[in-house]
Amino acid sequence: MALSVVDLYRDILPKTNCGECGFPTCLAFASMVVSEKLPLERCPHLAPETVARCRLELEKQYAAGKWTKRDPAKDALQWARQRAASMKIEDLAGRIGGNLASDADGKRFLELPYFNRLLWIYPDRVTLRGGKELNRWEQVFIFNHIAQGGSSLPSGQWKSLEQIPNTISKVKSMQAHVLEPLARLFAGRAGALAEASSRLGGRLLDPKQFGADLAVVLHPLPRIPLLLLFWDQEPEDGFEARVSILFDATIVEHLDIESILFMCERLVELLEQEAFLPDFALQMPENK
């Protein structure tokens, strides 16, 4: 029989709230055991046979996902993979770019430029060239790109997120998770941003045509360019640094709105890595 928080508290734990498990009450500990899979033996007042008996039940309910906290990245990736599952690798190059190739086992994959790197896209997985893992949110927007079905080439017409339909709910998130962090990171360091962007494969444009201090076009993916504009801080005039990201008008053919945000969040991480991490650190696996 499954063990709920109440079952554990009422029937198993001593209810003395002694705190030796690291939690102030037995009920708080029970909640962590059920939802976060905390080992029951962290309560030192239980008989080993009680722990063993409960562990059997707990393992069953963990395996079934019962009462455990949902993992949003896992759920999103599962959904994105399902969306992309019907796509044939052979059909992708014509639609999203890249080149078809075969690995040492004869398995076909698509080699797709991704910033300054190359992706290897198989029907069931996406890695960096050579098999290096991508983080799960990256996989989500890449699988969504595969599934989205668009084939348009960039139009050269730039739009802000606000100008793209149905994005109202994401505009604040973009500001909080992408534009403001980027502005803070590079305030007073326009040169570092230019260098980091170039290292990611970005092409610097004349910023004057946009009235900015820096303008760079980046290609996260071949059909998905974005234009990053940066205005540096001017402390004497009370102006803080500011960032804007514009998207090609065709982006909604290639990515859903949520994935646009994931892609931009990844851009922030990559720019930060390129600008501030020593070279040896960039060789380390990127796990998330």
CB of 4 to ligand SF4, least distance (A): 16
Q: Which is nearer to ligand SF4, 18 or 168 (CB)?
A: 18
Q: How many Cβ atoms sit within 10 Å of the Cβ of residue 67?
A: 15
The Cβ-side half-sphere exposure at 144, using a 13 Å CA radius, reads: 24
C-alpha span between 282 and 74 (Å, rounded): 25
Alpha-carbon gap, residue 267 to 109, rounded angstroms: 24
Given the complex with ligand SF4, which of 3 and 43 has the nearer CB atom? 43
Comparison of 14 and 191: residue with beta carbon closer to ligand SF4: 14
Nearer to ligand SF4, 20 or 240 (CB): 20
Q: Please write down the long-range contacts of 22-29, taking CB distance under 8 Å and 24 or more positions apart.
A: none
What angle, 0 to 180 degrees and rounded to 10, lies between the N-to-C axes of helices 136-148 and 89-96? 80
Q: In the complex with ligand SF4, which residue's Cβ is closer, 40 or 226?
A: 40
Structure tokens at 233: 């801080």
The residue (of 2 and 18) whose beta carbon lies closer to ligand SF4 is 18
Smallest gap from residue 20 Cβ to ligand SF4 (A): 4
The minimum distance between CB 56 and ligand SF4, in angstroms, equals 19
Distance (Å, whole) CA 127 – CA 119: 6
Q: Please, what is the minimum distance in Å from the beta carbon of residue 207 to ligand SF4?
A: 59
CB 17 to ligand SF4: min, Å: 5
In the complex, minimum distance from the CB of residue 284 to ligand SF4, in angstroms, rounded to a whole number:
38
Give the CA dihedral 282, 286, 171, 236, nearest 10 degrees. Answer: -30
In terms of phi and psi (left: phi > 0; alpha: psi -120 to 50; beta: otherwise), the region of 240 is: beta
Please state the closest distance from residue 70 (CB atom) to ligand SF4, in A: 25
Residue 13 or residue 257: which is nearer to ligand SF4 going by CB?
13
* Binding residues for ligand SF4 (CB under 6 A): 13-14, 16-21, 23, 26, 29, 43, 45
Give CA–CA dist 77/137, Å, rounded.
Answer: 7
| Dihedral, CA of residue 271, residue 277, residue 279 and residue 280, to nearest 10 | -130
Cβ closest to ligand SF4, residue 16 vs residue 35: 16
Q: Nearest CA to 267 among 235, 249, 245, 287?
A: 245
Shortest Å, Cβ 16 to ligand SF4: 5
Q: Helix and strand tally (H, E) in the chain?
A: 12, 9
- Residue 240, CA distances (Å) to 4, 199, 232, 243, 244 in order: 51, 25, 7, 10, 13
